[in-house]
């Protein structure tokens, strides 16, 4: 028996929603990065699901790219986070508002 496409899409939507809410509500940059990862993975789930559903490998290929980009992004993000922490001793976004108008 196969899991219906709609279920997988629902899962993806839920993960995406959690990611967005986390991104909008949390102030800790580490958690933000994790939320970002959730959003990306929600997209990945979608891609894999449609790839399976359409019997095409294109979606899986893109997922591999996405994972690579996400890894790179996490590395850069964590590097900025570390640099910020070393300079400011904080990872709280409320205390980092350099671009305030």
- The contact set with another protein (CB under 8 A) reads 20, 23-25, 27, 32, 93-94, 97-101
Residue 14 or 93: which CB sits closer to another protein? Answer: 93
- Alpha-carbon distance of 81 to 2, in angstroms, equals 42
Q: State the nearest-atom distance from the C-beta of 53 to another protein, in Å.
A: 24
Residue 67 to residues 3, 24, 42, 51, 58, Cα–Cα distance (Å): 24, 23, 12, 16, 14
Tell me how crowded residue 49 is: count the other CB atoms within 10 A of its CB: 19
Q: State the nearest-atom distance from the C-beta of 97 to another protein, in Å.
A: 4
Residue 61 or 79: which CB sits closer to another protein? Answer: 79
Residue 2 or 98: which CB sits closer to another protein? Answer: 98
């Amino acid at each position: 028996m196969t899991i219906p496409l709609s279920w997988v899409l629902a899962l993806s939507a839920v993960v995406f929603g959690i990611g967005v809410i986390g991104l909008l509500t949390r102030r800790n940059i580490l958690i933000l990065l994790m939320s970002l990862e959730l959003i990306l993975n929600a997209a990945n789930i979608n891609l894999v699901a449609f790839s399976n559903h359409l019997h095409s490998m294109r979606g899986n290929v893109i997922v591999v790219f996405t994972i690579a980009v996400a890894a790179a992004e996490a590395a850069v993000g964590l590097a900025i986070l570390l640099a910020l922490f070393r300079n400011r001793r904080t990872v709280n976004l409320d205390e980092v508002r350099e671009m305030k108008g």
